[in-house]
Structure 1
Amino acid sequence: MLHSKAGWSPVLASASVGLIGSFLPVNSNMRAAIYSGSFAGMCSSELVSNYWEIFGISLIGAVIYLYSLKLFQGFGGKLGTIAFVSVALFYLIKGSII
């Protein structure tokens, strides 16, 4: 929403969320989930039009993240992949409902 409401670039908005999340007093898994969510938030504002849709993408991403905690440890790109898959699944689900 920093992109669509405040006029920030998607990259700046994602980096800001990741930076703020890094200072929260939570464990490293939670920080990773916050940063993955910020990647998912970089999707087009034409796809996401309200907060419920952001919640849907976040829920899909959280489930994928929880199921993949033990998978692909040590491999790069896991958070971006989770963000991509959660947005893609949301897009497919939204398209089949409409």
Structure 2
Amino acid sequence: MLEHKNIFTVIFLTTLITALIIYTYIKFFRIKEVDFEPFYVMIFVIAGALLTNYLHLFTSLNSVLAAALVGTIASFSTSLNKKSKILQSVPNAMYCGCFVGMSQKHLAIDYSFIVISGTIASIFYMFSKNLFHGVGGKLGTLAFGSVVISSLLLLILS
């Protein structure tokens, strides 16, 4: 019983801190409107997570090299058609997914965890298009938040 109270305390405090950070950021930088990424970026975030996780688990590459390989290949997609808005959004979205796919083997038990974390990360990514400009580590922070939320959901539901 005590364990469940601790989980809800962690969830409450995490939500409160996140809300305060976003509120402070919006007020400090005086953001007038919030712009969103298109819906199709979800596919690229999830694909980046799955590819990185697959390379990490089933090849001799460690998680950093797997993410670097997927990110490097994704970066060349912009040169296929420089006028395509879809291809211009591939590198950042896939690299955000790469951070999700770098999850350790004992945390990401199967691909469903990666898909759920990737979906949450893609939702965060879509809503943060014009937020956190000039702040380093945006993609990694979004991925970290999605993995933490997925882990908490897994802990609560199991």
Above 0.5 in TM-score? yes
Match for 1:55 among 77, 98, 115? Answer: 115
The residue correspondences of 1:20-39 to structure 2 (distance < 5 A) are 20-25=73-78, 26-27=87-88, 29-39=89-99
Whose helix fraction is larger, Structure 1's or Structure 2's? 2
- Aligned CA-pair RMSD: 1.2
Whole-angstrom CA distance in 2 between matches of 1:89 and 1:61: 10
Out of 126, 141, 144, which is 1:66 matched to? 126
TM-score, reference length from structure 2: 0.58
- 1:94 matched to 2:147? The reply is no
C-alpha deviation, 1:74, in angstroms:
2.1
Does the aligned pair in 1 maintain the 2:56–2:63 contact within 8 Å?
Answer: yes
Q: Tell me the TM-score normalized by structure 1.
A: 0.91
Q: Identify unmatched segments of 5+ residues in structure 1.
A: none
Q: How many residues align?
A: 97
Q: Give CA-to-partner distance per residue, 1:48-70, whole Å, 9 cap, x none.
A: 12222211111000000011111
Counterpart CA distance in 1 for 2:55 and 2:126 is 26
1:46 is matched with which residue: 87, 93, 106?
106
> Match for 1:17 among 43, 52, 70?
70
Secondary structure in 2 matching 1:24: helix
- Given the alignment, which residue of 60, 67, 78 partners 1:7? 60
- Where 2:61 maps in the other structure, the secondary structure is coil
The structure with more radius of gyration:
2
Percent identity, aligned pairs only, is 38
Matched residue type, 2:118: S
Deviations 1:33-92 (A, max 9, x none): 100110111111111122222111110000000111111112211011011111111111
